[in-house]
Structure 1
Amino acid sequence: MAGAEGGRVVNSYLVYRASFYLMMTVATTALCADPTDDRGGWFLPPVVAAAGLAAFLTVDRKPEWSLPSGLATLLGVGSLGLLYAEYTMDETQAIRCLGHWLISLQLIKYFLPKRIEDDWVLFMVGLMQVLIGAVINVGDQVGIWLFLWAVLAVWVLGQFFLQREARRFLAPAGTVANARAPLEPLEEDPYRSLFDAPYFWATARVLALTLGLGFFVFLLLPRQQGVTRSRFGPTTAKHLTGFEEEVELGQLGEILENDTAVMTVEFTDGDKIPTRPPAEPLWRGATLNTYEKGRWRRQNYRSQRTLASYRGRSANRRPALRQLIKLEANDSPTLFGIRPFVGIESAYRLGQGPQLNPVDGTLYRNEARGPYDYEIVSELDPDLPQLSEDPPSDDRIKNVLLEIPDDIRAALEPIARPVVAAHPGDGPEAVRARAKALEAYLLDPGVFAYSLEMRQVDASLDPVVDFLVNRKEGHCEYFASALAMLLRSAGIPSRMINGFKGGDWNDFTQTMTVRQKHAHSWVEAYLGRDKEGRARWLSLDPTPGNEREKSIAQIGGLASHFRGVTDLFRYVWVFYILGYDSNRQAKLYSPVRELFKEIREGYGIIWKWGSETFSKLFDFQSFRSLISFRGFVVSFLVLSLVVALFRGAVWLFKRLLALWRGPIDDLQGSSGVLFYRRLVQLLADYDLKRAPAETQGEFAHRAFRFLSGREDGAREVAALPEKVVEAFYQVRFGHRELATETLEDLEKSLDLLEARLSEPAPG
């Protein structure tokens, strides 16, 4: 930054070029922001940054060090081969391949001389990378890089304009700047005093205004209803451990220490009024039925049934809880929601929307890749039966829900028998009591403890038996597996559920972000059929809650302390950028509409009062009634209004006349301005010209330093430029007339300056 005389000076061209390379690096980062979809793209931003630094130190300072044009052409043609090779490796990633090809062209362009047109080409290449990144990437990090690129783009365009105008201004008289000449540092930087605090403050205001107006226009653009986050073709999605067809016991622990977001949820009631969720909601996911040798398996067949859309509250409908879910990209077909579901709504076409498996109550989607947006409507009572789920047949109860290996049955029956002995009977309530007793047995903190460590004391035993008999500590998957086996050993049909429990609630956005660390396993016990023949399932969670919450709170490191702020940015990106549709637009505008409605009603009341008041005020029964105090007030108001209208008409006429005549430079013949112009002409004869970004005062100060450094008589008149500029300021901005003595003094001073500058240099 250039400050006072003798301070450090920053070359404006080098600032422009460094900013340009930084902008291009951010554009490449926006393209490669999602590493799960671009496995080999993580190294491209560092390569682009290194190439920009190399070009900054070589070609941009010495254009003769650039690549030969023939070699550059050969490399450009060769990049087409790389494009084709990458496309043949994965034809579903055509747009991403195009983005990578643009990066290769960008790198070639870096090491060529850069004219004004070349910088425009590079800028458009960066813009294309940003647009491609916005289409193919949906992670919340993409929004941050897009914002940074927009800020840098506005800054770089401003610097580009200054560099272009400087070359036009400094072109020799009677010529124009050579547009085909490479951009390189000027011999004398015209913007040495540019980078100061006022300049950066003004730039910040322009950035804020530009980005604010852009975002405002984005919010105002008409939106379609039910916009969903989609991608170009299939994508490589994040793997969601614990929701495969076969899950090894303990495998869920892999994601319990992962802070990655799985979904973001908004909650409303049945009438779509925002509300808070229940404490620690269970997000039901995959149903696991068969256990053998430390592995749980899902059923090997899938049927589907579509739930009807929720019709809202009616006289015979119970209160409901809506969950608007933005599911991040993952490779599992499983969908999540709070059970029991009574309705599903989505913007996907028939066959692509959420489906319910009536056999095991699992929600799923047909396409297990990419992000997914849907809305679940749930009953508030978790003990109510699930609609559209078929009761298990006797054969399924016997061979699936009560199936338990013989060695495990032999080990667990002695444990379960004394626990359930106090609750005999065959009815649903007796079954419930026995199931609750087994759950309470595992919740005893004096016997069992929560831990993420997965060690086995006796490798010869089944992991569930080893957990119950020896280890007696583990995470939720061990507790749920143990309860499911205990229930089956006691003759109670059961199944294990993998899903999520709770989430990070954000008071700023009124949303919940569910992360992988919230993964959870619990058990559903079958109680039989209700009076209407529907299946009754009881959810049981045997995992110690307090110890689990402490473990979750420790995951995330330093970033967890700023979770409220980061989730706020994530909410804006997911709900108001990627998922911004007509419904959300209407929700955003509703307070504004209500405000305008109240304003209109208020003005209506004022207008009604005013019209009634004026009608009474001007209601004169006869001419004699006009001669009164009320008549005097009315006459005064009417005459005042006529005078105001006349003066307004005169002012408007003068303004229109001035516009018709065109601008008149009333300072053209002013003495102060003429003296300043003479000063500029005198100094220009000695190659001392005012730069485009330089004020008259800064120019006068530079002239003072120039004249003070001469060895001739010019030192005597070094202060004259500042004296003339001061008079110019008084006339131009102070609108003052100079005294006759001042005019004569200025004329003598300029004559003396001209004489001193005309003297030959000594020696």
Structure 2
Amino acid sequence: MTAALQVSLYGLVMLASGMLSFAEGTAFPNAFTIPMALLALFLTERWKLFHLRVRWANVLGLAAFCLAGWELSSGLIEARLLSLAHLLVYLTWIVLFMSKTSRTYWNLCLLSVLHVAIGAVLTSAGGFGLMCVLFLFASVWTLTIFTVIRARQRYVAEDDVLFAALQESSARGKPSRSETAGTFPWNQRSRPISTVQIDPRRNWLSLPFVSGVFANVMFSAVIGMLFFVFTPRIWIGNFSAFGEAPDLPLRALQSGFADEVQLGDIGQILEGTNTVLEVRLFEQKTNQPVDIVAHAVEQGFDEPLFRGSVLGEYENGKWRIGSLGRNTEQRNVLSIPFENCVRQEIRMEPMDSGIVFAMPQHLGGVLEHRLPHLSERRVTKVLYRDQGISGRERLQYKIYSEKPLPEYDVPFPRATTGNLIYRNEFEYYRVLPAGLERLKTLAQQIAEPTEAPNSNPTEKARRILHHLRDSGEYGYSLNMSVDDPSIDAVEDFLFNRKQGHCEYFGSALGLMLRAVGIPARLVSGFKGGDLNTSTGYYVVQGRHAHVWVEAFLENRWRVIDATPAGRSDSVKSLAAKKGVFGKLAEIFANIWSHNIVGLSFNDQSSNLYEPLKELGTTVWRNLQANIESLLNGKTAEGGSSWRPYQLIVVALFALAISLLAGMLLFAARSKLKTGVRSPWLVSLMNFLSWLLPKESLSNNGDGWRSRWSRWWLSLLQQLRGEPAEQRLRVEFYERFLRLLRTAGLEPHPAQTAREFLMTSQTEWSERLAADDSSRLPMEIVAQFYRVRFGGESLSPDEQRLIESQLGQLEQQCRVRNRRR
């Protein structure tokens, strides 16, 4: 058992360290605990070759605190938490190589739990959730073995006392310890003790033991899940010891949508396959689902677009929101749903900016949050969450948008619902930075050819779009190399590389439109996604990040996308290839991420609290209706039922019976001392003591009280589902106890069978030694434990043997009593 505990505990430590390493995403120092644990298991535990003395352990512990303090001094938010995680790792290394006591084992278990707790803060991946399930089983298994060993150690001293008494008997001519030791069941391969009892012929780690641990794991998981589900997700305040929301993973942030974007930054996002958005569409009036791809096509897009930040100023390869996008008034959008609109239900992963993504042409929206209001800038129409919401929170919100409206002879779809723009704002989006003369010349040559010098803005935009997207001169690539760093990055793209991703195509289009006098701005967001058939959500990942242009044409802001079709092929090639196990892992990851880690109070209200409330209300109303119908003398079908006075009589009679039964139960089970009981209570208890069935009478005599007791106990045992063999314990063990009582040996009520046997072994060993029956009590107790606690059945031969031995013992007692 000790070896099993050591292997289990060290395995638990290695699993917890692996989970922390998985959550942090680095091997050092967390993963190094695994080889350290294996080394300590053999050197310190099994081979006893090396262990740390307390003095050196204290020195190393002080060094661990100093190292963790140095990591903490870096000042980064994540480093503060990781310094604590690394401190736990260093302390675990120290404890692994120390001499182990029960307290040390407990400390290792505690350190393992802390490893998992910190890992849960660092990640919300489904793989970590699967590891948590494994950790639950491993921890329950380890603690069960640990409890069994602790219970066994408590009774080692009792065995020593028993053997010492037998040694004294050997000195007086009785059997020696070596002769009798093998007869003790608890001295064999496994020992029956008062807290743990199994068949001596079995190993400790048997199939029933393993199945029992598995059952405990399942019950623990169910009970823990009930507490988890029913505990309201209500947060008070916005306090965090680390300066951010403490309830969400630190490594779940999506970057790249800040106030400033450098050309090439989005390339890092395009290679990611992490989920960013999950979207569903519904008809608000009918609540019927809407196909998101078909809805996008009706809007005029080839794929769904999710609008994010709007960038209005460009300089030296960097786009900024600019003064107009930052300083214009910010107002709350309407949170009341419109009747004739499309409802977007969106789940957004933590973002490091306050932007809220949505499909174009929104009318209003609301967050499912304690701070539910959304706001927008008047000019850019960018949606923002409340500033009190941390960037590390996973958000769920609803956006109400226009249904697609038909437009004729307009090549570019609408981007926003508003079209109000002032002259200064109009000019702001026409500003072309200095140093882009080659770009300006190229734009004018393409937009205003000699054969069409007086083209309208829409025709100019169409020609520039065709040149960048459809001419075949430019290609899509994630390669961000620069051919000529001495010139602007956009001009290097237009005249040298002619290869780039959406940032370069969008930047070139926006600046070329400005060069011919068309107001234009750059928009970053996401384009496309994949339908998850298991959840019904349209899943948008990092690889779907995209940049396009909004140009002011036909008195509206309209979407123009110059990125070639090769972008779609590139995005598809970045998708993870998933087999059957990959799809199962994805389903588990979705359940873990959204139903466990991302469980919100709104989810609890809609899926749990409200249905339970409705169920309770319905049951209560039905009960009231049934009671009212009974009191009115009517059945549910309208026929005649009991009269009111009959119901009152029945209710009073039931109440009287209940009160009498309660008084009898209290009187029969009262623990008050006899001296403080009232006379009537003492008389009532004496009467009940004589009347109520007793287990001691069930095997003594054929009177009506004995028969009544046997019938009552048999009924209770059948209701409990006890087998007939288990009820045999009354027929041989109680018979054995009566024999001991005749000899003046009475067990204490708090004593177990083995404890009573040990405390009285001197008396019964002396009395039974002369009859060569000294081993009989031990055999009876062993059989009693087999039947009573082991759930085994006695064979017919064993039953006959016990009956014969007890009969001989009774005969010997009667003969001895006559001689006296």
Instruction: Give the aligned residue type for 2:357.
Output: F
- The superposition leaves residues 241-286 of structure 1 with CA deviations (integer Å, 9 ceiling, x where unpaired) of 6545654544433322221233455666769969557324322223
SS of corresponding position for 2:522: strand
Decide whether aligned partners of structure 1 residues 270 and 730 sit closer, same or farther in structure 2, where only a CA change above 3 A counts: closer
User: Is 1:151 paired with 2:141?
Assistant: no
Superposition pairs of residues 397-436 of structure 1, within 5 angstroms: 397=428, 399-400=430-431, 405-417=436-448, 421=452, 431-432=457-458, 435=461
1:536-592 CA-partner distances (Å, limit 9, x unpaired)? 2101233355x5444323324345876654454444444444443432211121344
Deviations 1:190-228 (A, max 9, x none): 697344555444433321221111111121123327998
Q: Against the structure 1 CA distance between its residues 619 and 63, is the aligned structure 2 distance closer, same or farther, given a 3 Å change threshold?
A: closer
1 CA distance for matches of 2:252 and 2:378? 27
Q: Between Structure 1 and Structure 2, how many residues are aligned? A: 660
C-alpha separation in 1, matches of 2:86 and 2:616: 49
From the superposition, tell whether residues 157 and 175 of structure 1 become closer, same or farther in structure 2 (CA, over 3 Å).
Answer: farther
Q: Does 1:303 align with 2:290?
A: no
Equivalent residue of 2:800, what SS?
helix
Distance 2:504 2:544 in 1: 16
Deviation at residue 525 of structure 1 after TM alignment: 0.8
- Name the SS for the 2:272 alignment partner: coil
2:106 counterpart residue number: 120
1:288/1:296 contact within 8 Å kept: no
Distance 1:414 1:113, change over 3 A: same
Give the 5 Å matches for 1:665-684: 670-671=731-732
Match of 1:57 in 2: 42
Deviations 1:667-723 (A, max 9, x none): 566348879999xxxxxxxxxxxxx9xxxxxxxxxxxxxxxxxxxxxxxxxxxx99x
Other-structure match for 2:678: none
The alpha carbon displacement at 1:526 in A equals 1.0
Q: Is the 8 A contact 2:30 2:89 kept in 1?
A: no
Matched, 1:283 2:293: no
Paired residue for 1:700?
none
CA contact (8 A) 1:229 1:372 kept: no
1:118: Cα distance to partner?
2.0
Match of residue 254, structure 1, among 242, 253, 268: 268
| Structure-2 separation of matches of 1:385 and 1:265 | 19
1:501 maps to 2:523: no
Q: What letter is aligned with 2:558?
A: L
Task: State the distance in 1 between where 2:61 and 2:321 align.
Answer: 54
- CA-CA distance at 1:166 after TM superposition: 2.8
Question: Once the two structures are superposed, what CA deviation does each residue of 1:305-339 show, in whole Å capped at 9, x if it has no partner?
Answer: 4332533136xx75253444433254x56543333
- More deviation, 484-493/459-468: 459-468
Offset at 1:392? 6.1
Q: In the alignment, which of 4, 9, 20 is matched to residue 20 of structure 1? A: 9
CA contact (8 A) 2:269 2:545 kept: yes
Consecutive unaligned residues in structure 2, runs of 5 or more = 163-186, 192-197, 294-302, 405-413, 671-688, 699-727, 740-752, 754-778, 810-820
CA distance in 2, matches of 1:645, 1:107: 66
What letter corresponds to residue 479 of structure 1 in structure 2? F
Aligned to 1:5: none
- Provide closer, same or farther for how the CA distance between residues 253 and 136 of structure 1 changes in structure 2, counting only shifts above 3 A: closer
Judge conservation of contact 2:363–2:402 (CA < 8 Å) in 1.
Answer: no
In the alignment, residue 375 of structure 1 is paired with which amino acid?
Y
1:84 partnered with 2:72: no
- The Cα of 1:480 is off from its aligned counterpart by 2.5
Whether the 8 Å contact between 1:276 and 1:510 is mirrored in structure 2 is no
1:476-625 correspondence runs (5 A): 476-527=502-553, 529=555, 536-544=556-564, 547-559=566-578, 565-589=584-608, 590-597=610-617, 612-613=634-635, 616-617=639-640
Percent of aligned positions with the same letter in both sequences? 25
Q: Quote the Cα distance in structure 2 between the aligned partners of 1:649 and 1:217.
A: 36
**Which residue of the partner structure matches residue 742 of structure 1?**
800
Contact 1:358 1:390 in 2 (8 A): no
1:396 counterpart residue number: 427
Deviation for aligned residue 1:642: 14
- 1:326–1:251: structure 2 CA closer, same or farther, 3 Å change rule? closer
Match of 1:222 among 211, 220, 232: 232
When residues 318 and 157 of structure 1 are mapped into structure 2, their CA distance, relative to the original with a 3 A threshold, is same
- Correspondence for 1:337: 358
* Structure 1 Cα separation of the partners of residues 337 and 292 of structure 2: 20
Distance 2:433 2:53 in 1: 77
User: 1:470: how far off?
Assistant: 8.2
Contact persistence 2:733–2:784 (CA under 8 A): no
Q: Corresponding residue for 2:772?
A: none
One-letter amino acid of the counterpart of residue 283, structure 1: F
Say which is worse superposed, 76-85 or 244-253, in terms of deviation. Answer: 244-253
Contact 1:673–1:731 (8 Å) recurs in 2: no
State how far apart, in whole Å, the 1-side matches of 2:137 and 2:788 are: 39
Secondary structure at the counterpart of residue 287 of structure 1: strand
Residue 70, structure 1, aligned to residue 90, structure 2: no
Match runs of 1:74-473 below 5 Å: 74-90=59-75, 92=77, 93-135=79-121, 142-173=128-159, 193-224=203-234, 232-233=242-243, 242-243=256-257, 247-264=261-278, 275=289, 278-279=292-293, 280-291=303-314, 295-301=317-323, 302-303=326-327, 305-313=329-337, 318-328=340-350, 330=352, 332=353, 334-343=355-364, 345=366, 356-358=376-378, 360-363=380-383, 370-371=392-393, 373=395, 375=397, 377-381=399-403, 383=414, 385=416, 391=422, 393=424, 396-397=427-428, 399-400=430-431, 405-417=436-448, 421=452, 431-432=457-458, 435=461, 438-439=464-465, 444=470, 450-453=476-479
Cα deviation per residue 1:432-480 (whole Å; 9 max; x = unaligned)?
A: 5654565466554977664445578999997656766787765333433
**Aligned AA for 1:100?**
H
What is the SS of the residue equivalent to 2:306?
Answer: strand
**In the superposition, relative to structure 1, how do residues 333 and 503 fare at CA in structure 2: closer, same or farther (>3 Å)?**
same
Contact 1:438/1:483 (<8 A) preserved = yes
Structure 1 unmatched ranges of 5 or more: 1-11, 177-185, 530-535, 621-634, 679-691, 693-720, 752-763
So what's the TM-score if we normalise by structure 1?
0.69
| 2:771 corresponds to | none
CA contact (8 A) 2:23 2:120 kept: no
Change over 3 Å in CA distance of 1:305–1:584 after alignment to 2 = farther
Q: Which amino acid aligns with 1:70?
A: R
What letter corresponds to residue 222 of structure 2 in structure 1?
G
Amino acid at match of 2:215: R
Structure 1 residue aligned with 2:173: none
Taking the aligned partners of 2:64 and 2:463, their CA distance within structure 1 comes to: 69
C-alpha separation in 2, matches of 1:237 and 1:464: 33
Q: Give the structure 2 partner of residue 8 of structure 1.
A: none
**How far is the alpha carbon of 1:522 from its aligned partner?**
1.1
Which amino acid in structure 1 is aligned with residue 360 of structure 2? R
TM-score norm. by structure 2 comes to 0.64
Indicate the SS of the match to 1:102: helix
**Which stretch of the first structure deviates more once superposed, 493-502 or 437-446?**
437-446
SS in 2 for 1:43: coil
Which range moved further: 508-517 or 462-471? Answer: 462-471
**Contact in 2 for aligned 1:303/1:358 (Cα 8 Å):** no
